[in-house]
Amino acid sequence: MITPEFYDNLTPSEAVALQKELREKIDCTPLTTPVRYIGGADISFNKFETTVYAGIVVLKYPEMVVQAHASVTCTVQFPYISGLLAFREVPALLKAWDALTLKPDILVLDGHGIAHPRRLGIATHFGLIMNQPTIGCAKTRLTGVYQEPGNHRFDQAPLFDKQEQIGTVLRTKPNCNPVFVSPGNRVGMDQSLEIITRCCGKYRIPEPTRLAHMLVNQERVKGSR
């Protein structure tokens, strides 16, 4: 069992090696059990500080009504390095997950799933070590090529790496930049898009991640005073 402590004293080089090992275990088989609860996870922190606030919000699916939430605060040592985001944020998220009284059927992470150079975005990483269905929903591209989707709600375009589709670029709201949706683990490509689409309200960011972001920001303001 991987605990938050497992990540202590891990070097970037070792992190990349671990990603290459985990890559073999990725499972993008569509989830067959019903999704009744969906979670949104995110972290927040003050610039130049090592204290991070992690939180997870659980909502009824597809009604998008909040059912539960948990947030924790802890310190991180691993720096932000593009491609290694999971090693900075997952430890804190694991603690928030433990504190959750109601575990969601699927979790949406603020970042990519398999739309990553080694297919190990934060959503895939979390999903693999927790054997939990996950979806990655990032605000900007990390890797891959795509054609800009139309400017209407839910217009979309596949995100490719070579010949392989690694995600979908989704316009969740007109006149707003699209979001990047990709399977994390134990969920299919089309299924992840379908689920995220149903989580969209009147904002660019889907409800699970949007509410998690608001939660951790409030915790940060509270905690840093």
Binding site for DNA (CB under 7 A): 42-47, 80, 82-86, 110-112, 116, 120-123, 136, 138-142, 174-175, 216-217, 220
The annotation status of 155 as a binding-site residue, yes or no, is: no
What is the nearest approach in angstroms of DNA to the Cβ of residue 63?
A: 26
- For DNA, give the closer residue by CB, 67 or 165: 165
What is the nearest approach in angstroms of DNA to the Cβ of residue 74?
A: 15
Strand duo 134-138 + 156-161: pairing: unpaired
**162: enclosing H helix or E strand:** none
Q: Residue 219: name the closest of 67, 70, 64 by CA.
A: 70
- For DNA, give the closer residue by CB, 60 or 80: 80
- Furthest C-alpha separation in the chain: 50
What is the nearest approach in angstroms of DNA to the Cβ of residue 125?
A: 7
C-alpha to C-alpha distance for 10 and 21, rounded to whole angstroms: 15
Name residues whose C-beta falls within 8 Å of residue 47's C-beta, 6 or more positions apart in sequence.
none
- For DNA, give the closer residue by CB, 36 or 167: 167
- For DNA, give the closer residue by CB, 45 or 61: 45
What is the nearest approach in angstroms of DNA to the Cβ of residue 34?
A: 27
The annotation status of 8 as a binding-site residue, yes or no, is: no
Q: 192-212 b/e with 16+ CB inside 10 Å = b? A: bbebbbebbeeebbbbbbbbb
Residues recorded for the chain: 225
Residue ranges for the known binding site for Mg(2+) are: 42, 110
Residue ranges for the known binding site are: 42, 110
